[in-house]
Amino acid sequence: MVMDMNKSPADHETSVNCPVGLDSPCVRPGYKQTEVGVIPEDWDAKKLGELASFRTGPFGSALHKSDYTNDGVPIVNPMHIVDSQILPTRTMTITESAATKLNEFRLNPGDVVIGRRGGMGRCAVVQHTHNGWLCGTGSMIVRPSAWVDAEFIQRVLSSPTIIFAIENTSVGSTMINLNQSTLRELVVQAPPLPEQRAIATALSDVDALLTKLEKLIAKKRDLKQAAMQQLLTGQMRLPGFGGEWEVKRLGDVGCFLKGSGIRKDESLSGDLPCVRYGEIYTKHSEYIKTFYSWISPQAAVTARQIKQGDLLFSGSGETKEEIGKCVAFVNDTEAYAGSDIVILRPEHSSPIFFGYYLNTAPINRQKASRGQGDAVVHISAMALADIEIKLPKFEEQTAIATVLFDMDAEITALESRRDKTRALKQGMMQELLTGRIRLI
């Protein structure tokens, strides 16, 4: 599959000299203005009712409590449509005898099932593995005609432009309710069937790449968790290291300080980076990679400056299980810590090692046992200082930190590639579904 990328969409748009003062938009050669915007001349703009038939799922009254079973015929409702796929479900099934009475609502391979209530854009093509499943009350069957590709229609119905159009014309004040008349009157772009299939294939190829990346990221995360479990407990030793780890109290490795200042209204008041306690839970993991709050020099006067190598604990939280999450500050830059942050400034220790180690399950259990309070849980520097730890020598700390840091870097690179691929997919959908870029 090849895209004509010799000219960008912007290049094409400026390739025509548009007379000044015309009321109608200027359309480049080979394209035409339609109700759905500018599309290629060999495409049509048609009402969806001309391209497909529809059937709304049965009302709940069509079934009785006795019809439901634990392992029967699955019913597909919007909650079962995720990322353009129908998830396997055994949480909502009915007996075969009950399903037989509802045969008109059976799903066939090549149908498109779309959610009618909430979450517009939830739609998926029915695969052979879903043959005979039932369209639920909250869903609708879109059955494409013979000259319409189901995968292409699914892409159109899940595109931002069409979702916006559906939401603007659907009924319901608190929850949008999509009906057949809305879909029938919806005007969509309709390329020739071969091009529909080509567009659907190109987008499916990107989806397949995204799926592979997600699986690879999940695998790398599992490997990292396994490595942490073994390396941070001494179950597995890196080559060249041996001997017993030393048992200490956390207070033995350095001195504790307390963060201060930085009100919420000061968190974006300047250019000096800072860390607020809530960000430790929501933004950071093991070590600080970037900053999300910036304060003015005036606010910094009352805040605590942190130094490279400091360990930052959240001193407040909602539950004892999460109290005292730790992140390492490894940046060589001026930065500050707000109130409700407890700071440990260790001596001759690897901060990245501690960033991983101090969030392991054995340490978290000790932090939880020392948390104080119910609605809001607190942990003090004195309580943290009493936590028992087992430490390898500095050289082994550094070696372990390097292994885990490199694994993190690999995961981050894969996540960046995934995010760029997602953005590429969104761009491709916009360009391909409007015909601004054609497939050769």
409-428 residue pLDDT tens: 999 999 999 999 999 999 99
Quick check: 60 pLDDT over 80?
Answer: no
Banded model confidence at residue 401, pLDDT cuts 50, 70, 90:
very high
Helix (H) or strand (E) holding 9: helix 9-13
Q: Which two tokens stand for residue 68?
A: 């439901």
Of 122, 140, 130, 52, give the one whose Cα is nearest residue 84: 122
Whole-number Å distance between alpha carbons of 28 and 18: 9
Question: From CA 204, how far away is CA 207, in angstroms rounded?
Answer: 5
pLDDT tens across 87-111, in order? 876 668 889 999 999 999 999 999 9
pLDDT of residue 172: 58
Q: Residue 20 has what pLDDT? A: 45
Q: What is the mean pLDDT of the chain?
A: 89
pLDDT of residue 287: 95
Report the distance separating Cα 307 and Cα 330, nearest Å: 8
Q: Which range has highest mean pLDDT (1-5, 119-123, 225-229)? A: 225-229
pLDDT of 11 higher than 60: no
Position 311 scores a pLDDT of 97
Give the model confidence (pLDDT) of 219-267 as tens digits: 999 999 999 999 999 999 999 999 999 999 999 999 999 998 888 889 8
Which of 343, 328, 341, 334 lies closest to 398, judged by CA?
328
Q: Return the SS3 of 272.
A: strand
Mean pLDDT of 429-440: 90
Q: How far is residue 265 CA from its own chain's centroid?
A: 29
Q: Specify the pLDDT at position 332.
A: 92
- Is it the case that residue 145 has pLDDT exceeding 80? yes
The pLDDT, as a whole number, for residue 256 is 96
Specify the pLDDT at position 54. Answer: 94
pLDDT per position as a tens digit, 304-361 = 999 999 999 999 988 898 899 999 999 999 999 999 999 999 999 999 999 999 999 9
Mean pLDDT, residues 17-25 taken together = 49
Per the CB < 8 A criterion, the answer to whether 356 and 401 are in contact is: yes
Alpha helices in 371-393 (DSSP H): 381-385
Residue type for position 272:
L
Name the β-bridge partners of 38: 33
Predicted local confidence at residue 323, as pLDDT: 93
Amino acid at residue number 201: T
pLDDT of residue 118: 65
* pLDDT one-digit tens code per residue, 170-223: 665 556 678 888 899 999 999 999 999 999 999 999 999 999 999 999 999 999
